[in-house]
Structure 1
Amino acid sequence: MSAGKLFKLMLGVGLAVFFLWLVVRQISLADLKTAFAAADPVWIGVALVAFFVGYACRIERWLLMLQRDNPSLGWHHCAGPLMASVAANNVLPFRAGDLVRAFGFNRRLGIGASTAIVTLFAERLLDLLMVLLFLGGALACFGTDLTRLAGVGSAVPIAAAAGILGLLLSPRLFAAPARALARALTRVAPGPGQKIQAEIDKALTTLEHFSAGHTMPRLIAWSFLAWLAEGCVFWCAGLALPALSAPLGGWLALPVGTLATLIPSTPGYIGTFDYFTARAMTELGNPAAAATAYALLVHILLWLPATLAGGIYLILNPTRPSPEAETC
Structure 2
Amino acid sequence: MSARRLLTLALGLAMAAGFVWLIARETDGAALRAAFAEARAGWIGLGVLCFLAGYSARVARWRAMLALENPALTWGRCMGPFMISMAVNNVLPFRAGDALRAFAFSGRLGVGTGRVLATLVVERLLDLLTILGILGLALWLTGLDAGGLLGVGAAALVAAALAVALALLLPGVFEPLARGGAGLVARLAPGPGARLREESDRIFALLRRLARGAVMARLMLWSALAWGLEGCVFLCAALALPGMAAPEAAWLALPVGTLATLLPSTPGYVGTFDYFAAEAVQLFGEPQAVAAAFAILTHTMLYFPPLAVGGIALLLRPLPKGAAARAASQSPLP
Common topology (TM > 0.5): yes
> 1:136, 1:156 within 8 Å by CA — same for their partners in 2?
no
**Partner deviation per Cα, 1:218-275 (whole Å, 9 max, x = no partner):** 1111011100111111111111111112111111100111111111111111111111
1:216 paired to 2:219? no
CA shift, 1:45, in A, is 1.7
CA shift, 1:187, in A, is 8.7
SS in 1 for 2:132: helix
Which residue is 2:87 aligned to?
A: 87
1:142 paired to 2:139? no
- C-alpha separation between the residues in 2 aligned to 1:16 and 1:327? 26
Which residue is 2:98 aligned to?
A: 98
> 1:88, 1:97 within 8 Å by CA — same for their partners in 2?
yes
Which residue is 1:245 aligned to?
A: 245
Which residue is 1:19 aligned to?
A: 19
1:132 paired to 2:135? no
- C-alpha separation between the residues in 2 aligned to 1:326 and 1:142? 44
> 1:19, 1:271 within 8 Å by CA — same for their partners in 2?
yes
SS in 2 for 1:266: coil
* Distance change (3 Å), C-alpha of 1:77 and 1:190: closer
* 1:29-178 map, 5 Å: 29-178=29-178
When normalised by structure 2's length, the TM-score is 0.91
Between stretches 310-319 and 199-208, larger displacement belongs to 199-208
Identical aligned pairs, as a percentage? 49
* 1:195-206 map, 5 Å: 196-206=196-206
User: Which amino acid is 2:217 matched to?
Assistant: P
> 1:137, 1:154 within 8 Å by CA — same for their partners in 2?
no
- C-alpha separation between the residues in 2 aligned to 1:269 and 1:102? 22
Which residue is 2:313 aligned to?
A: 313
- The alignment of Structure 1 onto Structure 2 pairs a total of residues equal to 326
SS in 2 for 1:141: helix
* Distance change (3 Å), C-alpha of 1:63 and 1:24: same
SS in 2 for 1:212: coil
> 2:100, 2:327 within 8 Å by CA — same for their partners in 1?
no
Between stretches 73-82 and 198-207, larger displacement belongs to 198-207
- C-alpha separation between the residues in 1 aligned to 2:313 and 2:199? 32
Which residue is 2:232 aligned to?
A: 232
> 2:237, 2:297 within 8 Å by CA — same for their partners in 1?
yes
User: Which amino acid is 1:42 matched to?
Assistant: G
**Partner deviation per Cα, 1:116-162 (whole Å, 9 max, x = no partner):** 11111110111111111111111111112223212333343233212
Q: Could you list the runs of 5+ residues in structure 2 that have no partner in the other structure?
A: none
Between stretches 64-73 and 252-261, larger displacement belongs to 64-73
CA shift, 1:176, in A, is 3.4
Which residue is 1:263 aligned to?
A: 263
User: Which amino acid is 1:271 matched to?
Assistant: G
State the 4+ residue runs in structure 1 displaced beyond 3 angstroms: 176-183, 185-200, 324-328
Which residue is 1:272 aligned to?
A: 272
> 2:118, 2:199 within 8 Å by CA — same for their partners in 1?
no
> 2:147, 2:154 within 8 Å by CA — same for their partners in 1?
no
- C-alpha separation between the residues in 1 aligned to 2:328 and 2:278? 43
SS in 1 for 2:149: coil
- C-alpha separation between the residues in 2 aligned to 1:196 and 1:160? 23
Which residue is 2:282 aligned to?
A: 282
* Distance change (3 Å), C-alpha of 1:166 and 1:35: same
CA shift, 1:311, in A, is 1.4
CA shift, 1:167, in A, is 1.6
When normalised by structure 1's length, the TM-score is 0.93
CA shift, 1:197, in A, is 4.2
* Distance change (3 Å), C-alpha of 1:327 and 1:132: closer
Which residue is 1:291 aligned to?
A: 291
* Distance change (3 Å), C-alpha of 1:202 and 1:69: closer
User: Which amino acid is 2:146 matched to?
Assistant: L
Between stretches 33-42 and 1-10, larger displacement belongs to 1-10
Give the superposed CA RMSD: 2.1
CA shift, 1:64, in A, is 0.5
* Distance change (3 Å), C-alpha of 1:181 and 1:103: closer
* Distance change (3 Å), C-alpha of 1:176 and 1:8: closer
Q: Could you list the runs of 5+ residues in structure 1 that have no partner in the other structure?
A: none
